Structure 1
Amino acid sequence: MEQNQRVPCLNIEIAEHFCSDCDIRSNVDSEIRDTYARSNFYYSLILCCLKRKTISSYLRYTFHILLIVCLITSAFGCGPGRSFGFSHRRNLNYRPKPLVQKEHVPNIPEQTLGASGVSEGAIKRDSPNFKKLIWVESDYIVFKDEEGTGADRFMSRRCKDKLDILAISVINQWPTTRLRVIESWDEDGEYLHGKNSLHYEGRAVDITTDDRDTSKYGMLARLAVEAGFDWVYYENRDYIHCSVKSDSFHTPHDSGCFTKDSIVLTSNGSTKAMSDLIIGDRVLSVNDRGEPIFSEIILFMDRNLEQTEQFIQLTTENGAVLTVTPAHLVMIWNPEKMLTSYVFADQITRNDQVFVHDFTKALRPQRVIKLETVMREGVVAPLTRAGTIVVNSVAASCYAIVNSQKLAHWSLAPMRLWSSILSYMHPSNQSKETVKEEKRKKRLDLEGYESGVHWYAKALYTIKDYVLPITWRH
């Protein structure tokens, strides 16, 4: 083969590239149709191309394979017989399921962070916050207004938006029926709804249909859920209670992260802040049997030390404090069923039990005695090989958004595999000085790390809406 033969260029941005492995010279003018090499040329070129592949290209190929598998699985799920995917036919034939009396959605208390949130205090007509309430006028809504003051027409902006959506849904469901509001903002000084009721903030409404047909109330409750109310309760046969989060509620981060000043324990016995972690650090985690182990950090699914986000902060009875984004999975203990499970942080309630790494170096359940929302600067989401991590002594998952620890862990298998391949290619039988130098380089690389969600995690977040049922997502 001649050295200056015209061949397909491996990288057209390189004007003159010489490959010593296959003895080929190429240039920017090279094209596939200009190649007239012997059969052994193609063999050499393939070898050369493989050596030219970058790490990122291999990772993308791995993700494409995973995506194809997911799509094939979903396609099989649409076929006849027992499916092992998620059938899209069910979505086409979907019919809302009415709620039953005493059922509420979500299935957690109203004033928890995963529902409508805690009360922020009653609003009076002379309160500064009264001007934030919206007066509602709608041809599709009937207001009872038994007080005669128009109080039932006042509500928060978010409550009004959801009510307008629901009113249209009611018309679509029953063309001759309109939505009826029997209670909204209340200004009574006797706190008949309870002192912390969201009615006193304009964040709750009690509704019926204008024909007062109680047989429709179960479906009305379901329509309220689909309209976007944050908590819906089929309280009794007379009305449906709905409430929303505060207008000041900050939309949660679309992934799971810890604060940058959260602390983890490393394998050498020292502690590190999240912002100081690097790939390769071994930190305290939890294995499948619930035992504490040290696991290697293989990548950061999200890292932005300047971004300000809303976090859930939970405090245990012995003073352990975990600060994490609402959609992050946290490990909890169910003493009645004697089971360990993972739930979203914003669905944890007081007296739930989380696992805390105590002075005995064991993980033991502790009751949650305090929950609050806080704003903090800096988000960090390390991924360990075990898929778990102990932060501020509290056991948590490395995953978020999807309510299945096993499924989330499986979906990151390609990244663990790639990390193992890299470890095999670069064995760690090096001197201490070499290890220190590599860590210094990793630190410099991390300082130049592009902020934001890792491309693989971002891709998974994107396809989740197409391959997972809504009940599996945050």
Structure 2
Amino acid sequence: LLLLTLSSGAMGAFGFLIVFCLIFDSRSLACGPGRGFGDRRRPRKLAPMSYKQFIPNVAEKTLGASGKSEGKITRDSERFKDLVPNYNPDIVFKDEEKTNADRLMTQRCKDKLNSLAISVMNQWPGVQLRVTEGWDEDGHHLEESLHYEGRAVDITTSDRDKSKYGMLSRLAVEAGFDWVYFESKAHVHCSVKAENSVAAKSGGCFPGQSQAILEDGRRKYIRDLKAGDKVLAADEAGQAVFSDFLLFMDYDTKTQRQFTVIETAEPCRKLRLTPAHLIFIHNSASEVIVTFASKVRPGNKVLVSEDTPGLLSTATVERVYTEEHYSSFAPVTTHGTIVVDQVLASCYAVVEDHKWAHRAFAPVRFGHRFTSTFLPEKRQNLTCQRDGIHWYAKMLFHISCWVMDAQSFHPLGISNLN
């Protein structure tokens, strides 16, 4: 009777309580990734970066770091509106030009800088973060410098104690800058990816034109799935089942994203999914394991559906490449799996542990069973979702950050959640 009287807000709070207990229950954490995952996280001792060291260990303008330059931004540029001022009182801006240009930066750069400012005050009480160079409109840097786009800052501490700069560099890495370089004895250089680059590569989804297989054998576009649909999936034993569609973890009708394409020859199948999405493959011992789509290579074996509905078999990956498509959707089913374009994939992304993710979505399955039994007229509302990441998925991510190491997450998977 109590459950019947719960409002939607109370149901959300109830779900939070369940997932909180689920995540911190030692039995649930026993299978989690990483050493000592079930134990309380101990503070990690940070090591200062070495002079001239850069992280990640690739060139700044490569895909694995901040990415290529997209051209200078001037005050007359259309893109100038994308720069935002930073008036954080905990940051000292040198502002040599007296134009406040150093305060202008992209939103991503601002977010990382504000996070670093907190870390600096915690590391050295009474000391603040100092920015010596931000957006540059005067041409003081090399032609393709990210300073011209508001994507780079040069930083020191407010006391200008050079002995602190190695640790300052490490704190910048921890704050989430996409590339950090202990460039000189006078400052540390930090930069971030372009806003559209982050959106294009992040998340865990399928393009909208991908298709699921319904119980009656019909195909349906992923974007058109609704409450009540049963789609082809697989159970824990790897057997084909038809599973209830629950909701979209991510629903984006506008953004152009980069998708990994996994193609098999016999039978011919082609699955498109974002790099941070999980997929099932057979290893050399014929065991089914879960990995990120970005790790799949030719020669791996994936599970595909036969032309006869309800049967799954293995197929060898022949090609892996990338494509770009507009719109992306991340459906969740009761079994946590789904066959998309006749290839079996997980419903989950970002963390390379399908079982952990499936346990974490137990409250969603509980809510589905509850509404199906007691409030069937409300089921349709569960899948009515505006563009964006579902609140529950965002909440899980932030809770996970407390209990898991950063290495547990796919870097492209969390970019749009930071």
Normalised by the length of structure 1, the TM-score is 0.54
Which sections of structure 2, spanning at least 5 residues, go unmatched? 264-268, 307-312, 370-375
CA contact (8 A) 2:179 2:192 kept: no
User: How far does residue 296 in structure 1 lie from its aligned partner after superposition?
Assistant: 2.3
Question: 2:259 corresponds to which residue?
Answer: 314
Give the Cα separation in 1 of the matches to 2:164 and 2:283: 37
Instruction: Establish whether residue 451 from structure 1 lines up as the match of residue 379 from structure 2.
Output: no
- Structure 1 residues 330 and 199, CA, compared in 2 at 3 Å: closer, same or farther? farther
Between the two proteins, the alignment pairs up a number of residues equal to 374
1:283 aligns with 2:232: yes
CA distance in 2, matches of 1:221, 1:120: 25
Provide the C-alpha distance between the structure 2 equivalents of 1:286 and 1:350, rounded to a whole number of angstroms.
22
Written as runs of structure 1 = structure 2, the 5 A alignment for 1:208-227 is 208-209=156-157, 215-227=163-175
**RMSD of aligned residue pairs (Cα, Å):** 6.0
CA positional deviation for 1:98: 3.6
- 1:17-75 Cα offsets, whole Å, 9 max, x none, are xxxxxxxxxxxxxxxxxxxxxxxxxxxxxxxxxxx999x9xxx999977754655539x
How many Å separate the matches in 2 of 1:64 and 1:131?
Answer: 41
Letter in 1 for 2:181: Y
Sequence identity percentage: 31
* Residues 1:260 and 1:246: Cα distance change in structure 2 (over 3 Å): same
**How far off is 1:221 after superposition?**
2.0
Q: Take 1:99 and 1:367, find their aligned partners in 2: how far apart are those partners?
A: 39
Which SS does the other structure have where 1:123 is aligned?
coil
Q: Is the 8 A contact 1:278 1:446 kept in 2?
A: yes
- The structure showing larger relative contact order (alpha-carbon pairs under 8 Å, at least 6 residues apart) is 2
CA contact (8 A) 1:285 1:388 kept: yes
Partner SS for 1:451: coil
Distance 2:73 2:211 in 1: 40
- Indicate whether 1:264 and 2:212 are aligned: yes
- Tell me the secondary structure at the aligned position of residue 136 of structure 2: coil
The structure 2 residue matched to 1:388, chosen from 323, 337, 348, is: 337
Cα shift at 1:369: 3.6
Aligned-partner Cα distance in 2 for 1:418–1:227? 36
C-alpha change, 1:221 and 1:396, in structure 2 (3 Å) is farther
**Structure 1 pair 205–460 and aligned structure 2 pair: CA distance change class (3 A):** closer
In structure 1, the residue corresponding to 2:154 is in which secondary structure? strand
Alignment counterpart, residue 233 of structure 1, candidates 180, 192, 216? 180
Query: Is structure 2 residue 88 aligned with structure 1 residue 140?
Result: no
Distance 2:354 2:203 in 1: 14
Structure 1 residue 381 displacement after superposition: 1.0
- Please give the secondary structure, in 2, of the residue aligned with 1:140: strand
- Corresponding residue SS for 1:185: coil
Q: Does 1:86 align with 2:24?
A: no
> In structure 2, which of residues 243, 262, 271 is the aligned counterpart of residue 297 of structure 1?
243
| Structure 2 counterpart of 1:405, one-letter code | H
Larger of the two Rg values belongs to structure: 1
Distance change in 2, residues 1:271/1:133 (3 Å): closer
Q: Which runs of 5+ in 1 are unaligned?
A: 1-9, 12-51, 421-441
Whether the 8 Å contact between 2:330 and 2:347 is mirrored in structure 1 is no
- The equivalences for 1:98-247 within 5 A come to 98-99=48-49, 102=53, 104=55, 112=63, 116=66, 119-124=69-74, 127-130=77-80, 132-133=82-83, 140-142=92-94, 153=102, 155-158=104-107, 159-160=109-110, 162-163=112-113, 166-167=116-117, 169-170=119-120, 173-174=123-124, 175=126, 179-181=130-132, 184-185=135-136, 188=139, 192=142, 195=144, 197-209=145-157, 215-229=163-177, 231-234=178-181, 236=183, 238=185, 239-246=187-194
Q: Given that residues 355 and 395 in structure 1 are in contact (C-alpha distance below 8 angstroms), is that contact kept between their aligned partners in structure 2? A: no
The aligned counterpart of 1:365 is 317
| 1:383 CA displacement | 1.6
- In 2: Cα distance, 1:204 partner to 1:62 partner: 41
Could you tell me whether the CA contact under 8 Å between 1:140 and 1:167 is conserved in 2? Answer: no
